[in-house]
Chains A and B, each alone.
Chain A
Amino acid sequence: MTAELPPGLAIQKVDERIMTLNVGPQHPGSGHMRIIVQIDGDYIVACDPDPGYVHRGEEKMAEYRNYITNIPHLERPVIHDSCNVLYPYVLGVEELLGIEVPERAKYVRVICSELNRCIYTMYWLAIYGIFLGHSTMFMWPAGDRELLIDLMEKISGARVTHAHFVPGGVRNDLPPNFEEVCLRQVNYFEKRIKEYAAVFYDNPILISRTQDTGVLSREDAIRLGTTGSVLRASGVDYDLRQKEPYDVYEELDVHSNVMKEGDSYARSKVPWLDMMESCNIIRQALQKMPKSGSVRVKLKPNPKGKGLDSVYKRVESGRGSLGCHIVSDGKVEPYRLKMSVGSFRNLIALPYLLKGEKLGNMPSVYWSLNYWPVEADR
């Protein structure tokens, strides 16, 4: 028997103590992926994550569509975070085509991007709650998300998959009277998420289940190449909105939340703190935004790149750094398009974190990595 078979298919030696267990891929607490764990009693000996079940070929599809018709399908990997998924692509195409974006459009993009980050994180938090058997923490975020989904619906006309960002700005201006409604709902949202502390984050049962499980040290976090909240929960202060500001983030006061513990509890708390920071950014952006002006540059019907050219742009999404590499050969379609996604980079840490853990801790450690299966598979 050669060792060329994919993971899980190779015939393994039967051991008296070690049992192999497939978690997934039919979604009961794993997402659309499989985690192959080998357990000795209640303890995990080895773990092999097996993603790829929801591969859609987004990158290849992008080579057959022009720069505008790529927009609706490129936001499908993470429909809750669709503005952030599209952000690096749009920034890249703008650089390829040499478009200057109006100031107001940049602020509208920042507001949409922060609203989407909160919408994604609330969904993620709801799933995290139900993974730990805390059904209140499923209901509350799922309900409070609605406040922000309502705002995104007012801006873009769709509850998910907004298709709002285009090369050259955004599709439409903010609706009349939006600033007031946005401020009211975001303030209430912030008040609501602060209430989660008593019921969830300061809850002794949650703390006893998640503290000191799946500890990722600062050195390992850097060595394994994790990003986003996972990296920040391990004590590395790295937020792309601060370190490599894009659009108008350098004019806004962005504070990044860092925790030193690197355990499952810290990884679940950092996104929650980030949501409060997002509320701050939205308030700042609403204040500093030019009150009038264009939000979209008029483009030619089929925009083309200027000869052989390539561009790489990255932004901070809900799951960490999200990059997009576009190669243009001067035609209406991109020659190549590749995405570097935070989910996949965070998944690499999973086998290291689960070794020696109890099987009951697997869901909390796995979901605290801020992993979104569809995004990782593209």
Chain B
Amino acid sequence: MTNTATGIIRALNSGIKHIATKRFTLRYPEEKLKFVGDGYQFDPSTGVGIAGLKGRHMLFHDHCTGCQLCSIACEGVAEAIAMVKVPEEQKQNKKSIMPQIDYGKCVFCGLCVDACPFYALYMTNDYELSSFSKEGLIYTPAQLAVKPYVEQDSEIVITKYGATHG
């Protein structure tokens, strides 16, 4: 009986101690998590990626040759990449086709980035991609060329009074 009583008091005591510890919850829309690096990138010369968040893609129009390797890499995965005609003319892109990505299908695995041999496709830290329509999730080559601005202000900090997002 005494064992039971002390056990319950210990459990309550452990809970009460937490009134003094810091709050760990990340208050998401007000605070946003900080990421390492500038998004997931890939270096085809060494064959190794560079650590970063796998978010929305970024397409460099002056590097893309329209070789369709990203689209082929996506074939068995999500089939999110379609090659579309672009109005502009780049001298390395004879066919004038560039990838268009459907984020309703994309699983953010980043295999398309690994497939690109011309440093044309990277991933950025942008993860807020919601839209009111299915068409709004389809990003054209022109939209993919824009580098997003991502707010990052909060990081896990471990203090004497527990961990918190500061």
Distance, CA A181 to CA B54, complexed state (A): 20
Q: Which of A92-130 contact B (CB under 8 A)?
A: none
With A150-B156, A175-B36, A204-B3 given, is the CB distance from A68 to B111 under 8 Å? yes
Stretch at the interface among B58-66, B70-78, B81-89, B128-136: B70-78
Across the interface, which residues of B come within 8 angstroms of A200, CB to CB?
11
Nearest CB on B from A312, distance (A) = 24
In the assembled complex, which residues on chain A have CB atoms less than 8 Å from the CB atom of B146? Answer: none
Q: Which residues of B contact A173 (CB under 8 A)?
A: 48-51
Chain B residues with CB under 8 A of A298? 46-47
Please, which residues of chain B bring their CB within 8 A of the CB of A64? 76
Number of A-B contacts (CB under 8 A): 111
Q: How many residues on chain A are close to B (CB under 8 Å)? A: 47
Q: CB distance B47 to A163 under 8 Å?
A: no
For residue A184, CB closer than 8 A to chain B, the reply is: yes
Select which of B4, B53, B76 is within 8 A of A69 by beta carbon. Answer: B76
A156 to B13 Cα, complex, angstroms: 39
Contact call A296/B48, Cβ cutoff below 8 A: yes
Residue of A nearest to B163 (CB): A188
Number of interface residues of B (CB under 8 A): 42
Report B103 CB to chain A, min CB distance, Å: 15
The one of A72, A161, A198, A297 that contacts B10, using a Cβ cutoff of 8 Å: A198
List, in ascending order, chain B residues with CB within 8 A of A154's CB.
35-36, 51
Residues of chain A contacted by B156 (CB below 8 angstroms): 146-147, 150, 185
Task: List 13 extra interface pairs beyond A199-B15, A203-B8, CB under 8 A.
Answer: A65-B76, A69-B73, A146-B24, A150-B33, A157-B39, A157-B54, A158-B108, A172-B40, A172-B48, A174-B51, A185-B163, A198-B10, A199-B14
Instruction: Report 19 cross-chain contacts, Cβ distance below 8 Å, ordered by A residue.
Output: A66-B76, A68-B73, A69-B77, A69-B111, A71-B109, A72-B77, A146-B156, A150-B33, A155-B51, A157-B39, A171-B48, A175-B52, A185-B163, A202-B7, A202-B10, A202-B11, A204-B3, A297-B47, A298-B46
